[in-house]
Every structure is written in C-alpha cells, then in structure tokens.
C-alpha cells in the first residue's frame, strides 16, 4: 500500500505518514523554496502555539492580513511577530518599525521575511545587506557580543560593520539544506552553528533531533528534543517528537506522558491524539485509546488516516459489545 499523502507543512516541519496504518505519525521539517502553502487558521494557532485572541490582535494591529488561510510567507511573518512579542515588544512598535524600515531601505517589500529581525530593548532592529539598523531612531547597531551597541547612523556609515551570519541565518540555511538528502550533513552543521550562536534555539534543536531520528540515532534525537523542551517548555511539537523517540525505543509509559504533555499545550494537536491512541493500544488500554481515536476523527475527518481511526473506534466498540453479550449469556 502506498503511503498516504502529507496533509500540511510549515516552515520547519512537515508531517510524513509511514506506509503502514499502525505506524506512528512522525515529523520531518523541510522548507521547499518558492512554494505557497495555505494553512488553516487553526493550523497556524497550533503550529505557533498562540491563541486566537493573540492572532486577532496582531491582525487588528496591521501586522498580518485577517484571513482564514495563510501563506508560507505569512506564517513566517507571524513567527517573527510571536518572537518579538515574547521579548515584550508592543504590536504598535512592531508596526511603526516596519513602516520606518521600508521608508529607509528601498525595495524592501516584506521586512519580516526579507531581513533579519531582533528585539533591542523595547524596539525592533533589522539586519539587511550586512548592516543592523533600528529604524525608529535611525541608528545603526554594532553587532559586538555579548550585546549590540547602538551608534549614530553617521558614525556607522564610516565603519566596516561585522558581516558574520546570525543564528537566524544559519537556521534558515539548515532548513533549506534539509530538503536534499545529499546536503543533510550540511544541514546538521548549519543547525549546530545556530546552536553555537543561540544555545536555546528550540526550533534548531527540534530539526536536529529529527535529522538524527531519521538516521536512527535515537540517543542524539532524544537529547535534542529534551533540550528543545528545556529551551521552550511550551513547545508542543518538542513533546510530540520526544514521544515518538520514546515510543521507538520501547518506553511506552514515557511516550504516553510526552504525548499528553503535547496535548495539554495544544488540545487540537491531531497527530498527538493519533500517536497517543496507538501507544495506549500497545499498552492494551483500548478504552484510553478510544478517546483519542475519537478526538483525531473530529480534528481530521477525511483521508486514509481518519478512515483507520474510525476502524479502530468500531473495533474497540465492537469488542466491548461482544464482551457484554458474552457476559449476559453467562448470567
């Protein structure tokens, strides 16, 4: 039987269903340059780990257009908005910074996608063409560690700014290199460089973990998934992927706990319901599995994986009816 088709992808993850229906759903993250992938609103909320209220607020602030479907570019925009908001940068400041940078840099149509973005205190700075600029004040930034140093624009223009790549740039390189199996070792190196520059880059840990998972290096995969959780304890995907590697290595009770953590953070995470149902079935707990098969069908009502979930529901309920009949006859 051929593998069922993928049903969604995002900038650093694509769910890939294995050939057999009894296989877990695991994650592979690949970005395909030049493609436009529509994401449903509920998918965006789950992928980014944000609430509907947050998204509505960003739409109202003019940071992204209000819609029921989002392109890859819009998903990337929202990811950067989320990260800026996590640094306590107000939506109005983000919007003002976007307007200011477009006035200062000709041809920059989508700054959140086309330039590097970082929070500098309560402001937003952009890295473009080898220079870092805080547009609301018109100041350039000297990118010395451990913190950026703000200098007047006239002085910055006379200096040779550092051109070393940022963690975000190395991460983007890793995502692109993952697409081709022949360059996946280069992707691993790019993600490692990301983590050298930003050790708590949760998404880099996730992607590295998945590359190792696919190479069956489960020890390394588990290590990176756990580091992703340590970096961002509210990253549902990290718990999901950790559950996969725990299941793969026979630690079903721990896998159940990891999947449950993913669902605590994201109750509509369909694939986590699917894998948790499978784990409960392996533990011979059909009643526990039944709840999650039903949840999966509610969340993903079409396609072969939904068909399999419905079949599992019927099998479990049929088995219970058979036991009731036998019990009644015995009485």
Say yes or no to pLDDT of 108 above 70: no
Find where tokens 């590359």 sit: 211
Domains belonging to the chain, first-starting first, are 9-32+167-330 (1.25.40.10), 87-164 (no CATH)
Question: Which residues is 40 bridged to in the sheet?
Answer: 69
**Average pLDDT of the chain?**
75
Q: Is 39 helix (H, G, I), strand (E, B) or coil?
A: strand
DSSP string, 124-135: EEEEETTEEEET
Q: Is 297 helix (H, G, I), strand (E, B) or coil?
A: helix
DSSP string, 19-31: SSTTSPEEEE---
Question: For residue range 130-151, what is the model confidence (pLDDT) as tens digits?
Answer: 667 788 777 776 553 334 434 3
Asked if 97 contacts 123 with a C-beta cutoff of 8 angstroms, the reply is: yes
Question: Which residues is 118 bridged to in the sheet?
Answer: 125
* pTM of the shown model: 0.56
Q: How far apart are CA 259 and CA 247, in angstroms?
A: 10
Average pLDDT over residues 94-98: 87
Average pLDDT over residues 234-239: 86
Asked if 198 contacts 228 with a C-beta cutoff of 8 angstroms, the reply is: no
What percent of the chain has a predicted confidence (pLDDT) above 90? 25
Question: For residue range 256-278, what is the model confidence (pLDDT) as tens digits?
Answer: 999 999 999 888 888 899 999 99
* Torsion, Cα of 92, 94, 100, 101 (10° steps): -170
Average pLDDT over residues 73-79: 79
């Amino acid at each position: 039987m051929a593998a069922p088709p993928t049903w969604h992808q995002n900038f650093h993850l694509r769910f890939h269903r294995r050939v057999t229906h009894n296989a877990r759903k695991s994650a592979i993250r690949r970005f395909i340059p030049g493609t436009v992938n529509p994401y449903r609103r509920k998918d965006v909320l789950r992928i980014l780990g944000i609430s509907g209220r947050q998204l509505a607020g960003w739409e109202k602030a003019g940071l992204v257009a209000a819609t029921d479907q989002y392109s890859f570019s819009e998903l990337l925009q929202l990811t950067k908005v989320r990260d800026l908001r996590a640094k306590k940068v107000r939506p109005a400041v983000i919007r003002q910074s976007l307007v200011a940078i477009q006035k200062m840099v000709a041809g920059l149509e989508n700054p959140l996608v086309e330039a590097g973005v970082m929070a500098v205190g309560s402001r937003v700075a952009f890295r473009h063409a080898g220079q870092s600029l805080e547009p609301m004040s018109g100041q350039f930034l000297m990118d010395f560690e451990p913190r950026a140093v703000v200098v007047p624009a006239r002085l910055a223009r006379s200096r040779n700014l550092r051109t070393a790549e940022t963690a975000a740039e190395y991460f983007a390189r890793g995502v692109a290199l993952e697409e081709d199996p022949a360059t996946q070792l280069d992707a691993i190196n790019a993600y490692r460089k990301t983590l050298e520059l930003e050790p708590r880059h949760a998404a880099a840990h996730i992607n590295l973990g998945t590359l190792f998972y696919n190479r069956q290096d489960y020890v390394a995969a588990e290590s990176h998934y756990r580091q992703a959780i340590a970096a961002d304890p509210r990253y549902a995907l990290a718990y999901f992927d950790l559950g996969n590697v725990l299941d793969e290595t026979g630690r079903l009770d721990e896998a159940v706990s990891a999947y449950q953590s993913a669902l605590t953070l994201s109750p509509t995470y369909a694939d986590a319901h699917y894998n948790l149902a499978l784990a409960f079935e392996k533990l011979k707990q059909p009643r526990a599995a039944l709840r999650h098969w039903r949840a999966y069908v509610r969340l993903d009502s079409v396609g072969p994986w939904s068909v399999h979930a419905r079949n599992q529901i019927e099998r479990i309920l049929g088995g219970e009816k058979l036991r009731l009949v036998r019990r009644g006859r015995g009485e």
